[in-house]
Amino acid sequence: MRLKLVPSETKWDFFKYVSATFGASMLAMVVSVVLFFTVGLNFGIDFLGGTTIRTESTNAVDVGAYRQALTPLDLGDVSITEVFDATFEEDQNVSQIRIQQQEGHEAVTPETIQAMEAALRSVDPDITFPSVESVGPKVSGELVQTAILAVVLAIAAVLFYIWLRFEWQFSVGAVVALIHDITLTIGIFCLLQIRFDLTIIAALLTIVGYSLNDTVVVFDRVRENLRRYKKLDLKQVLNLSINETLSRTVMTSVTTLIALVSMYVLGGDVIRGFVFAMIWGIIVGTYSSVFVAAPVLLRLGVKRDWSKPSQGGGTQFANVDA
């Protein structure tokens, strides 16, 4: 007996409340943009420059004592946070200390780091320093430019690919869905102030690929059904196509989420931001394939007199469930 998360045949009307769902998506994008310019992202050392020191001790972390010990060193903006994780041992107490870029230096000097370590050892003799990471201002500036360029080029490549594979209306729908996914992901990071570093850029690029894959499967079935059901209008064809690929979409998303949730709970705080971005991206990516890309295609319309026969590309596994 096979597990089915949705029935084999569904006849749900995904466009019944299209004005509300699409309007909510556009509103969420506007809110995300406003959050970006007002609250801003909590950039990591990768993008700001500076030094991050990770401490570990068998004694409890005393943020106030740590800060008091570092104050005489005159390091400027120092952020001290205690790190919690379900995978830590009972006597494993971890903190993360972030120091702003020091004026006149590419990174915090080894002498300053040694002075910090000595100051913290005066508070807690058992403290250790598993990792010290430094990024200079020039490198961090280049990383910001490279990250933005990577995301823009990925979206441009998607636009070109969909334009070649389908009609231009399909490519516009797919790119609007991708921009929706990335914008909402950046918005949730602004809202929750989760650290935004290079691993999150990797997550954004992965989200682009995942969302595109889901959208292409739906669009392939739409193109196929446009040829098969010539008397149905575009809205009916879109509804039929989404229903036909729904089992595959839900199964793929749920199984991927199971793995990601396990990583989020058990993987440790180092990768938690990346995994959170992936979980959020899969949720909004699945949503946008149905409630953003399809309504855009419906709005733009598409011609139905293709001379080339459908090859069925990308739809051979559309009805597969488990």
- For the segment 147-172, the average pLDDT, to the nearest whole number, is 80
pLDDT tens track for 98-114: 876 665 555 567 788 88
Structure confidence at residue 188 (pLDDT): 93
pLDDT band at 316 (very low <50, low <70, confident <90, very high): very low
Region 82-95 average pLDDT: 82
DSSP string, 76-121: SSEEEEEE--TTS-TT-EEEEEEEPPPTT-SS--HHHHHHHHHHHH
- Domains in the chain: ranges and CATH: 18-43+140-300 (1.20.1640.10), 50-135 (3.30.70.3220)
Question: What is the mean pLDDT of the segment spanning 218-228?
Answer: 86
Q: Which of 50-54, 188-192, 292-296 has the lowest mean pLDDT?
A: 50-54
Q: Are 175 and 297 in contact (CB under 8 A)?
A: no
Instruction: Indicate the pLDDT class of residue 37, thresholds 50, 70 and 90.
Output: very high
What pLDDT does 137 receive?
54
Q: What is the full DSSP assignment across 173-199? A: HHHHHHHHHHHHHHHHHHHHT-EE-HH
* Angstrom distance (rounded) from CA 234 to CA 252: 26
**5 confidence band (pLDDT: 50, 70, 90):** low
What's the CA gap between 172 and 152, in Å, rounded? Answer: 15
Higher pLDDT, 297 or 137: 297
Calculate mean pLDDT across residues 143-162. 78
In the predicted model, is pLDDT for residue 117 greater than 90? no
Please, is 203 exposed, middle or buried when counting C-beta atoms within 10 Å of its C-beta (0-12, 13-18, 19+)? buried
Q: State pLDDT tens for residues 258-302.
A: 999 988 888 766 688 889 999 998 999 899 988 999 999 888 887
The residue ranking higher by pLDDT, 210 or 32, is 32
**CA torsion angle for 199, 200, 201, 205 (degrees, to 10)?**
100
Tell me the average pLDDT across 124-131: 87
pLDDT confidence of residue 53? 86
Q: Report, as an integer, the average pLDDT of 140-165.
A: 77
Global pTM reads 0.73
Looking only at the bridges linking them, the beta strands covering 195-196 and 42-43 are parallel
Query: What is the per-residue pLDDT for 136?
Result: 62
Q: Compute the average pLDDT of residues 197-216.
A: 84
Least confident piece of the model among 87-96, 136-145, 180-189, 283-292: 136-145
- Mean per-residue pLDDT of the chain: 81
Q: What is the mean pLDDT of residues 44-51?
A: 72
Taking 60 as the threshold, does the pLDDT of residue 40 lie above it?
yes
**pLDDT at position 25, please?**
93
Better-scored residue on pLDDT, 254 or 322: 254
Residue 319 confidence (pLDDT) above 60: no
Task: Report the candidate in 245, 253, 243 with the shortest Cα–Cα distance to residue 283.
Answer: 253
Band of pLDDT at residue 215, cut at 50, 70 and 90: confident
